[in-house]
């Protein structure tokens, strides 16, 4: 299945108090249309990803809102799957094209999270967990990931000093990204000295609460060729789920859903991990990036921290990972994250990323997670097919 990406749009991520969810959607979507050299009326459907607006703002029906802000009355659907909403919206758009129900599709993701208290955000985000089994025991998402991290430490013998390399790397990448929430390099010492959130995870081990939106215009290969585009193609897509209740899993130091989704995506695209030049992975916590590069098949299990510490995942390394800055420093407006990852990879393969450009990038991958490894989507992007 070769679906073409012909337009991308992306707002700045951050504390965007002067912009509403409508403003953010309009900005990203219209930018994607301008990039594709199309008017909104040229599309057949819209898929819009969002997790939090219903609980934070009381605003549901985001599909209709996404259509209204660009002045169209086309079929428009909201996709919600926690933090993987954006990538599942992308899959929905791909499927609409592959099934020939649509020829041109707009996929967008948006979140407005910084106008409310931390208590409201924590309650909203915990809707991605098993509420009955976990929320009412008093555990939090940082608490759950702290358990995973402690278990990983015990099994593979790494420490907080090893985790710090992830945050330092991703902040260095974000410093080169004008759309990132935190454009600031940090040191290992600052990570280790930052305030504890859920031992052993400190403040600088955790991703940001951000506002933002991203959008892509997809089309069929035939439409792209007929209209003389030079697109980036999505050649592989895989998704999988695991138990929503963390305690129900046999091994919490690996995300089986990541492994299964990756196998499906690689098989569909006809490539292997060795073929990937650049990737964006879901680093909601520093431990999550280490597990991601292992579970995706890039690094032997237990060796992810060492690969990152050695510089293999830096912009000039063997496998540049999170050149955007990742969720950790670029920001994590959850409904927009999966679409924003796609925008970054498309721009990397086009050669449009300036100071953070990965040399000779031809094949890229995105990895997006909902909950604590509960729902995972992986996509493969190629410059040529």
165 is catalytic: no
Q: How far apart are the first and last CA of the chain?
A: 11
61 is catalytic: no
Pairwise CA distance, residues 19 & 3, whole Å: 32
Pairwise CA distance, residues 134 & 89, whole Å: 27
C-alpha dist (Å) from residue 265 to 216, 282, 345: 19, 16, 16
Helix or strand (DSSP H, E) at 363: strand 363-370
- Give ∠ CA 378-282-337 in degrees, rounded to 5: 85
Pairwise CA distance, residues 65 & 71, whole Å: 10
- Among residues 12, 223, 193, 220, the alpha carbon closest in space to that of 114 is found at 12
Would you list the DSSP string of 32-92? HHHHHT--GGG-SEEEEE-SSHHHHT----HHHHHHHTTT--S-EEEE-BTBTHHHHHHHH
- Among residues 223, 211, 205, 1, the alpha carbon closest in space to that of 98 is found at 1
- 139: its two tokens: 């555990």
The number of C-alpha atoms within 13 Å of 114 and in the hemisphere containing its C-beta is: 18
Catalytic entry in 10, 27, 52, 83? 83
Catalytic entry in 181, 282, 332, 379? 332
- 274: its two tokens: 């060795």
Active site residues: 83, 332
């Amino acid at each position: 299945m070769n679906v073409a990406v012909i337009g991308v749009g992306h707002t700045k991520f951050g504390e965007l108090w002067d912009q509403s969810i409508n403003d953010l959607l309009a900005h990203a979507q219209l930018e994607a249309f301008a990039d594709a050299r199309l008017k909104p009326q040229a599309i057949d459907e819209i898929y819009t990803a969002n997790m939090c607006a219903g609980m934070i703002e009381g605003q549901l029906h985001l599909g209709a809102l996404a259509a209204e802000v660009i002045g169209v009355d086309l079929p428009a659907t909201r996709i919600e799957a926690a933090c993987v909403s954006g990538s599942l919206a992308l899959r929905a758009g791909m499927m609409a094209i592959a099934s020939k129900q649509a020829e041109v599709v707009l996929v967008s993701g948006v979140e407005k999270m910084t106008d409310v208290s931390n208590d409201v955000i924590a309650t909203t985000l915990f809707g991605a967990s098993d509420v009955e089994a976990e929320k009412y025991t008093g555990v939090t998402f940082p608490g759950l990931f702290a358990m995973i991290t402690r278990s990983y430490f015990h099994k593979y013998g790494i420490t907080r000093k090893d985790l710090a390399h992830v945050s330092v790397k991703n902040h260095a990448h974000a410093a080169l990204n004008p759309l990132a929430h935190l454009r600031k390099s940090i040191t290992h010492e600052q990570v280790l000295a930052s305030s504890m959130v859920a031992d052993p995870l400190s403040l600088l081990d955790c991703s940001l609460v951000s506002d933002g939106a991203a959008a892509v215009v997809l089309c069929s290969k035939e439409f792209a060729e007929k209209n003389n585009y030079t697109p980036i193609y999505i050649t592989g897509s895989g998704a999988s789920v695991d138990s929503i209740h963390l305690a129900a899993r046999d091994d919490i130091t690996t995300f089986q859903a990541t492994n299964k989704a990756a196998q499906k995506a690689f098989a569909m695209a006809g490539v292997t991990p060795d073929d990937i030049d650049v990737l964006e992975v879901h680093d909601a916590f520093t431990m999550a990036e280490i597990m991601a590069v292992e579970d995706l098949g890039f690094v032997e299990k237990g060796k992810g921290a060492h690969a990152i510490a050695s510089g293999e995942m830096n912009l000039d390394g063997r496998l540049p990972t999170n050149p955007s800055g990742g969720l950790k420093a670029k920001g994590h407006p959850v409904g927009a994250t999966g679409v924003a990852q796609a925008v970054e990879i498309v721009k990397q393969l086009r050669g449009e990323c300036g100071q953070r450009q990965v040399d000779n990038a031809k094949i890229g991958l995105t990895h997006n997670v909902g909950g604590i490894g509960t729902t995972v989507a992986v996509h493969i992007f190629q410059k040529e097919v």
